[in-house]
């Protein structure tokens, strides 16, 4: 025999009572959570009577089924356990309101856009004001940027203009390679010249006077390609290393306009006018940094050889050999980092005027003296064919906190720079130029770095504001 409870399951639903709230509840409304479920009734103490007795007492009549009793199965049908009512958004209804209090999973995007006011400052150039738009694509914070690009424009209070863009693509072909394309434009009416390999102490003189200046305009572009040839996977936890070949092509046009009664007009009148520099660069790089912009562990080394001549579209036939070593060590704490750089740069042949005051390599910089090499000396204070440079920095970032989805780090630093410049290699150890000072650091998302360095030397002192580490 089939119990009364089983018969009740097979009974047709009764029509709603008059004044009970409207039309019958449909199946769609029940799936949408607008009808009470059996599980909710059980929690409220209204569970059905397992004995099959009428819930309203002895006088209540049990509902009957129109299906013949012989057609009913001997056992009850299996029933699904009670399920919580699904939400409207689960059904994909685009006009349904969100369930109150429901929170979806937080999305993490590998894209990072960072528009910034572009600020730089150094003695003899003044405060540079402008804007930059930075973009980085990085899947994880402990991986290098797959894509990095920026476009910027700056003008200083001394009318120095620096504009340009850069695009760096990493692992585009899935082989760990790096492509880089850049276009710099420089208009500098206070380009310095203090003499060729001039090591005299010029303290007390006004080194920002027009006598030590000329006007330089440079327009150019470059393309570089780094291809991996060997990878290193450490056995212990640590950054992976990649050895890459380096190939670069660059073409720049310099226009030098000397002012009357200046040191440049007296000593180097033959450099006035237009100079073309078409350069082919070959080399090797070793990169084992844990972060491209604010490394705390690892190393970055590069050795490059430049060659230029009439066959590359250059006005002069000359070349360069450059080598740089950079290391980063954590001193007991992740926030305490010791960083150092050792660089040698040697020119040969009939080198033009502008490279005499530059350090080559992966990133060309002024030297000796300036934002990155010899802070405390005026930029390009010492120029010559042979240059060497050593820098040691102690970086401490004790504060790091979240601003919504972003990370902001604050830190301190102290550094010492040592440089040597000479016309001949054997004379290089005869000139030692030391400078140093403290600094402040702001690191945004382990991606953008803003540093404020105080530099002090025997001749000058000043403050340097830059949107990246010195190395």
Q: Tokens 């980085």 label which residue? A: 136
d(CA 158, CA 240): 44
> What is the token pair recorded at 64?
């009957």
Contacts of 460 (CB under 8 A, 6+ apart): 123, 203, 207, 376, 377, 378
Q: Which of 191, 223, 216, 120 is nearest to 467 (CA)?
A: 120
Measured between alpha carbons, how far is 214 from 259 in angstroms, rounded to an integer? 6
Identify which of 106, 101, 158, 151 has the alpha carbon closest to the alpha carbon of residue 131. 151
With CA atoms as reference, report the closest residue to 243 among 182, 299, 306, 167.
299
The count of other CB atoms within 10 Å of the CB of residue 164 is: 18
Instruction: Name the helix (H) or strand (E) containing 413.
Output: strand 406-422
Distance, in Å, from the CA atom of 438 to the CA atom of 452, rounded to the nearest integer, reads: 9
The whole-angstrom separation of Cα 359 and Cα 363 is 8
Which portions of the chain are predicted below pLDDT 70?
1-108, 141-142
146 three-class SS:
coil
**8 A C-beta contact, residue 147 and residue 139:** no
Phi, psi of 42 (to 5 degrees): -65, -40
Structure tokens belonging to residue 381: 């204070």
Ranges of each domain in the chain: 1-54+62-86, 117-466
The phi and psi torsions of 233 (rounded to 5 degrees) equal -110, 110
> Within 13 Å, how many C-alpha atoms sit on residue 235's CB side?
0
Token representation of residue 216 = 């330089």
| Residues near 233 by beta carbon (within 8 Å), at least 6 away in sequence | 240
Pair 213, 261: CB distance under 8 Å: no
Q: How many CB atoms lie within 10 A of CB 302?
A: 22
Correct CATH for 117-466 of 3.50.50.60, 2.40.160.50, 2.160.20.10, 2.40.50.100: 2.40.160.50
CA distances from 47 to 43, 51, 56, 82 (A): 8, 12, 13, 12
pLDDT in tens, 26-40: 333 333 333 333 344
Tokens representing residue 134 in the block: 């930075």
Q: CA neighbours within 13 Å on the CB side: how many for 384?
A: 21
How many alpha carbons lie under 13 Å from residue 395 in its C-beta half-sphere? 30
25 alpha-carbon distance from chain centroid: 56
pLDDT tens-digit map of 148-203: 998 999 999 999 999 999 999 988 888 888 999 999 999 999 999 999 989 999 99
Tokens of 262: 């200046």
184 neighbors 358 (Cβ within 8 angstroms): no
Q: Which two tokens stand for residue 160?
A: 């120095």
């Amino acid at each position: 025999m089939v119990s009364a409870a089983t018969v009740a399951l097979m009974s047709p639903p009764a029509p709603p009572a008059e004044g009970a709230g409207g039309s019958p509840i449909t199946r769609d409304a029940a799936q949408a959570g607008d009808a009470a479920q059996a599980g909710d009734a059980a929690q409220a103490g209204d569970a059905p009577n397992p004995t099959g007795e009428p819930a309203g007492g002895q006088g209540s009549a049990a509902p009957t089924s129109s299906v013949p009793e012989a057609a009913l199965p001997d056992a009850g049908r299996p029933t699904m356990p009670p399920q919580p009512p699904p939400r409207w958004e689960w059904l994909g209804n685009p006009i349904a309101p969100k369930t109150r209090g429901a929170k979806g999973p937080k999305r993490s995007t590998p894209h990072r856009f960072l528009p910034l006011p572009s600020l730089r400052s150094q003695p003899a150039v003044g405060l540079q004001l402008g804007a930059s738009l930075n973009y980085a694509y990085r899947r994880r914070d402990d991986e290098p940027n797959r894509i990095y690009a920026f476009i910027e424009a700056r003008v200083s209070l001394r009318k120095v203009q620096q504009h340009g863009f850069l695009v760096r693509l990493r692992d585009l072909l899935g082989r760990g390679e790096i492509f880089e394309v850049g276009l710099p434009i420089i208009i500098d009416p206070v380009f310095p010249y203090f003499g060729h390999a001039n090591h005299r102490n010029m303290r007390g003189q006004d080194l920002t006077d027009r006598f030590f200046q000329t006007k330089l305009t440079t327009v150019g572009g470059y393309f570089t390609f780094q291809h991996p040839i060997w990878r290193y996977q450490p056995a212990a936890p640590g950054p992976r290393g990649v050895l890459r070949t380096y190939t670069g092509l660059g073409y720049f046009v310099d226009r030098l306009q000397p002012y009357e009664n200046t040191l440049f007009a007296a000593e180097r009148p033959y450099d006035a006018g237009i100079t073309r520099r078409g350069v082919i660069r070959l080399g090797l790089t070793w990169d084992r940094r844990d972060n491209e912009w604010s490394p705390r562990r690892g190393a970055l080394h590069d050795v490059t050889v430049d060659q230029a001549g009439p066959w590359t579209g250059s006005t002069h036939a000359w070349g360069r050999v450059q080598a740089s070593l950079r290391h980063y060590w954590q001193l007991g704490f992740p926030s305490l980092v010791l960083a150092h750089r050792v660089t040698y740069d040697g020119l040969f042949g009939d080198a033009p005027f502008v490279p005499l005051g530059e350090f080559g390599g992966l990133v060309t910089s002024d030297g000796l003296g300036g934002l990155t090499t010899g802070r405390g000396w005026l930029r390009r204070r010492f120029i010559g064919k042979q240059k060497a440079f050593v820098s040691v920095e102690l970086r401490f970032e004790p504060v790091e906190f979240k601003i919504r989805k972003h990370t902001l780090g604050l830190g301190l630093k102290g550094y010492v720079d040592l440089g040597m410049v000479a016309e001949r290699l054997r004379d290089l150890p005869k000139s030692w130029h030391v400078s140093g000072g403290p600094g402040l650091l702001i690191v945004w998302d382990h991606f953008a770095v803003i540093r404020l360095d105080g530099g002090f030397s025997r001749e000058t002192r000043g403050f340097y504001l830059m949107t990246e580490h010195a190395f």
